[in-house]
Structure 1
Amino acid sequence: MSVRAYRNGRCDREQFTALRARAAVERGSELELTCYFNDVRGATRPAAESCDAAGVRAATTRTTTGEGPGTERDNLSFFLRVGAWGPNDEQVELSVRADSCRLPRERIRELLSGVEALLVAAVERPGEPVASLLASLPGADADVSPSGPDPEPEAATVPEPQARPVDAGALG
């Protein structure tokens, strides 16, 4: 079943609300139902341990980014899709669709570059904990909030609201 069907499925609103409340109690936090991750690569993808780390690092020189058409309305705030393409599905495509009120357009490329750097680090150092990989990345101590560092109080301004999700293109 497609993610679109999951996102737009019909249900009894009262039962759904009760289910969410029970899940929130069990988890200790509210469920975020506007963020999605979809890995649509085939089952034949190689394990990180079997990848050629030097080849993966070299492939980053061919990384490209682009933008697809935006969508005026959508019931999501963040959607990361992982796909594969090429003759043997050897190339990875990452795409992000995000609500520009929550994640400004200019931060999407930074996010995708960060994910790419994390994936390359995972291939270069298989078995290393993700937290350690993240800490080793350039800019690991930088502010990663959606809009960047908080402005100084005297320089704070209220941005004009934006109401359109944006689509970032693919890495590949």
Structure 2
Amino acid sequence: MKIVGIGYKKGSGKDQFASFMHTFIRCTQPGYCVKRVSFADKLKDIAHQLYHWAGLERGTYYETHRDKKEVSLPLIGKSPRQIWIEAGNKLREVHPGTWINFALRGVVADIIIIPDVRFRNEALAIMNQGGMLIRIDRPGIPQGTDPAEVDLDYWDGWDLIIENNRDLVYLNSFAESLSRKLINDIKATNS
């Protein structure tokens, strides 16, 4: 099993890069089991269960309605992103590995792609399992002050840093190239 963790700021292109990788591997390597898992998946499920009454949709809804993540829900006066950040941070205070444990427990795959590496302990968990860490930087995105936006600011453990300063074709070419390398590495290890 090989884990690929992608970080780090919101709006940098992490999800797009993960989607490109996931699609490329699934289409070119039908014998490989590739899964995309997010540290925030369980958090978003829990938040939906708690705040659906206030209009909070399932996390998957916001993947296709990205602009809605920042819109305040009138009944509670917070946006979905604010709810996720606050709930996520509070539960990290209870146990720092909460979201890591949920994300990685029981996942069986040749390749696991995690597109939301935001904290040092998440990066270390991936490193400790022999995974690869990719940082995607995008010039001009707003710089947040929340711990999820700044915890990895001075992290130097990235295996690859990609400047996402061009079009999607450019980003896709990086994802394809990395996917090919990953597949070749796995084949070499298994032979």
Larger Rg belongs to: 1
**TM above 0.5:** no
Q: What is the TM-score with the length of structure 2 in the denominator?
A: 0.24
Higher relative contact order (CA 8 A, sep 6+): 2
